[in-house]
Every structure is written in C-alpha cells, then in structure tokens.
C-alpha cells in the first residue's frame, strides 16, 4: 500500500514542472519572520532544503481534482462548540512553574519598548 502511494507520487513528480525557485532574499525574509538568525554560508543550504520541500509538495498540484469537492479542513466535522460556562482552572501555581523568571505572578521577560 505504502509503495503504491510513493510510486504514484514519484510518477506525478516526474510529470510536474518545478514550481518556483527560492531566492536568497526570500530565505532571509522567512528567517526574519521566524525570528531566526542564519549565517551567510547557511543560506544556500536552507534554500536547497526548502526547494526540495516545495518541489515535493508541488506534486499535489498535478493531481486531477476535477470532480473533487473543495474542503476547508482535514476533518469533516463541523460546528464543534463549547457551552459558555465558566470552569476555573485551579492549579494556578502550575501555570507559572516553568517560567524562566517571574515577578508579582507574572512572566518576567526582557524589556519590551
């Protein structure tokens, strides 16, 4: 079963064209958004890795979805709701127990602004 899927994907991959090429600037932009510091000599490595992922995912673009209904989420469930009733979480001490630093029952972090 697994082999069947992989073979199908590889077939699709071979049919597919390369979707897009990731530029250096894009790598830096994505790193910045993710709050990551990456070194200049790492950029090519990341670009290659991300390109591989994109190419792999691009296989999906080749799937024939002509008669498939569009879906929003991965589960078919809809309208999973909660009643508007208060439940107080009792174990207050547990909430801050892993805080690197705290003061007045608040998380203490480096100064913002």
Rounded Cα distance between 62 and 12, Å, is 6
Query: What's the token pair of residue 90?
Result: 């009792």
Smallest gap, in angstroms, from Cβ of residue 75 to other proteins?
A: 6
**DSSP structure class, residue 103:** E
Binding site for other proteins (CB under 8 A): 29, 32-33, 35, 72-75, 77-89, 92, 95-96, 101, 103-112
- Angle 102-106-111 (CA atoms, 0-180°, nearest 5)? 75
In the bound complex, what is the minimum distance in angstroms from residue 9's beta carbon to other proteins?
22
CB nearer to other proteins: pick between 8 and 96: 96
């Amino acid at each position: 079963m697994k082999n069947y899927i992989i073979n199908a994907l590889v077939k699709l991959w071979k049919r597919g064209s390369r979707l897009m090429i990731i530029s250096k600037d894009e790598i830096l932009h994505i790193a910045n958004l993710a709050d990551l510091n990456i070194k200049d000599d790492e950029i090519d490595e990341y670009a290659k890795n991300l390109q591989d992922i994109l190419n792999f995912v691009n296989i999906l673009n080749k799937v024939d979805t002509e008669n498939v209904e569009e879906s929003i989420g991965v589960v078919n469930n809809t309208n999973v709701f909660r009643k508007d009733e208060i439940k107080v979480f009792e174990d207050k001490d547990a909430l801050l127990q892993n805080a690197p630093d705290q003061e007045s029952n608040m998380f203490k972090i480096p100064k913002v602004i």
